[in-house]
Amino acid sequence: MAAKRPNRVRPAAFVAPQDAPSHDAFLEIHNVSKRFGDFQALTDISLTIERGTFVCFLGPSGCGKTTLLRAIAGLERQSSGRIIQDGRDISNLPPSQRDFGIVFQSYSLFPNLTVNANVGYGLVNQGLPKAQIAARVQELLELVHLPSSGPKYPAALSGGEQQRVALARALAMQPGLLLLDEPLSALDAKVRVDLRHEMKQLQRRLGVTTIMVTHDQEEALALADVVVVMSKGNIEQVGTPMEVYANPQSAFVADFVGHMNLLRGTAQADGTVRIGSRTLQLDPNQVEGLTGDVLVSFRPEDVMFRGLDAATDNQLQGYIESVDFLGAFSRARVRVDGFDGAVFEADLSANMLRDFGVDAGSTLPLALPRNRICIYPGNERTAGLVKSSGERRA
């Protein structure tokens, strides 16, 4: 899996850099930057989002994802750049003149109004007939699986139910764009999983273009058609969940999305890479243009223990330092002679634990498949991503 030159597949609902051709561009972000005093929150962001797409802005705290969402909504004015929605330049319009609905992490329901009144608030302000408002509110409550909750007040609802009401309210005006600012982060784990499934089904049913901000990688991978990974005010990678997970375009993406082993190595002129005294075979062109210090990355689930034969590349003898039971599988910390003390992690199925009797202190053969290894430049920007041999990765 070469990190330098991926085969990018155009998904059905695709988000592309601003200068890429688009069949049905709904939201275009052109060179948007934002400063707060001396702090650069966004740097020259360009992005095109197609109609009907579910997009997740994913990144750690402070990466600029919420600032970008707020700029799209008009809640923060960008320092420079333009935002075009459905062919209309909205760059300098106030939020009230933009076409969007928004759901916040904190629900933001009116505690003194019933569910019916909360959902219908915007419709009332439009001066629509009461019967039409009541019908629309009931339709929305049925969509979010709260058909009998209209007379209740927010305090009588669970957190998940309140967020469903907030979602119904955001959809009441039939917006062209739905913005979700970490809407699930305040909920319990099981409720969060259930509600994200409902949100995805609802978005598919309505076809509304949706942008969600999240720091939760699992959430982004499960919900999005396309993930936009951000770091320090920049876009690191844009792609489908599978592309971002299987073919991360930078060491940051590799480290942030999912779980990745990152080891220091040296790229060789013959297209191999050395870790300590060991040489690993790679697919052709994986280290093209790279020399000297590199980061060698592979995921714990890609370490092979079964089906090894004489033709299997990169076979090693692993010493199991510890095994953490994680339910459906276990994660082992593995040390290999000749790796200069580097420790990596490997996933073991329950069947493997039983069949091989794997436990701390065990040794067993393993292999690192050449097509599952990514190589990145080893420089100051990536130096902090490699953990010491005794440190557990989060």
Cβ–Cβ < 8 Å for 70, 32: no
Residue 199 phi/psi, 5-degree rounding, is: -65, -40
Task: Using the CB atoms, write b or e for 91-110: b if 16+ within 10 Å.
Answer: beeeeeebebbbbebebebe
Q: Which segments of the chain belong to CATH 3.40.50.300?
A: 15-100+175-246
State the amino acid at position 45 in one-letter form.
I
15-100+175-246 belongs to CATH 3.40.50.300: yes
* C-alpha dihedral, 6 to 9 to 10 to 11, nearest 10°: -120
Which residue ranges does the chain devote to CATH 2.40.50.100? 260-381
Least Cα distance to 347 among 312, 302, 308, 314 occurs for 302
DSSP for residue 103: E
> Which of 213, 132, 198, 211 lies closest to 168, judged by CA?
198
Exposure of 239 in the CB half-sphere (CA atoms within 13 A): 18
The DSSP code for 95 is G
Cβ-proximal residues to 92 (8 Å cutoff; 6+ apart), any chain: 77
CB 331 within 8 A of CB 347: yes
Considering the entire predicted model, what is its pTM?
Answer: 0.88
Q: What pLDDT is stored for residue 1 in this prediction?
A: 42
CA distances from 221 to 106, 197, 202, 226, 255 (A): 23, 12, 17, 8, 15
For residue 229, give the H/E element and its range: strand 226-231
Per-block average pLDDT, block size 10, for the chain (394 residues)? 34 40 81 97 98 97 97 97 98 96 90 97 91 96 96 95 95 96 89 91 95 96 97 97 95 94 92 93 81 93 91 93 91 94 93 83 92 85 59 44
Other C-beta atoms closer than 10 Å to the C-beta of 144 total 22
Is domain 260-381 classified as CATH 1.10.3720.10?
no
What letter would DSSP give residue 110?
Answer: -
Neighbours of 264 (CB within 10 A): 17
